[in-house]
Amino acid sequence: MKVAGTQAVEVKLLDPRFGDEWPLPAYATSASAGMDLRAALEAALTLQPGDAALIPSGISLHLADPHLCAVVLPRSGLGHRHGIVLGNGTGLIDADYQGPLLISVWNRGHEAFTVHPGDRIAQLVVLPIVRVEFQVVDTFAEHAGSARGAGGFGHTGVR
């Protein structure tokens, strides 16, 4: 069922535990930006410090709209408390991708961490895409509101 103000995206359930043991990915609140992705593992997986693994999410999706993409992001609590982050930082899903969503998980912490089947290990955010064409110039035109100018990386300092 499509909710007013949302855009339908096709999803394939690759794991039969969805709908029975696990709910479909969904927004937890009306203001949530992301939907949690689960570890569709057959058995628990222990990641030692420094270990990385590719974990199936149990779904595939097809955005279809070339003005959309999806990103797989880490869950902040897992990263901060346990050192569990994404092995590739952020996963990008193009609108024409239709394969399974796999989650690269990395234990950057100092203790072993066990991922159990059904654990929420990442989140999926769908974003709009603006397509651009590069215009080669020798200098940039002055634009109102661009006070930074040629200020480089970190030029504003910490305080």
Return the CA Rg of the chain: 19
What is the separation, in whole angstroms, between the first and last Cα of the chain? 49
Burial 122-135 (b: 16+ CB within 10 A, else e): bbbebeeeeeeeee
Is 138 assigned to a binding site? Answer: no
76 annotated as belonging to a binding site for a ligand: yes
Determine whether the annotation assigns residue 92 to a binding site. Answer: yes
Q: Is 20 annotated as a binding residue?
A: no
30 is in an annotated binding site: no
User: 92 forms bridges with which residues in the sheet?
Assistant: 71
Is 59 annotated as ligand-binding?
A: no
Q: What is the DSSP string of 134-156?
A: ----SSPPP-TT---TT--TTTT
- CB distance 106 to 49 below 8 Å: no
- Annotated binding-site residue numbers: 75-77, 88, 92-94
Residue numbering of the annotated binding site for substrate: 75-77, 88, 92-94
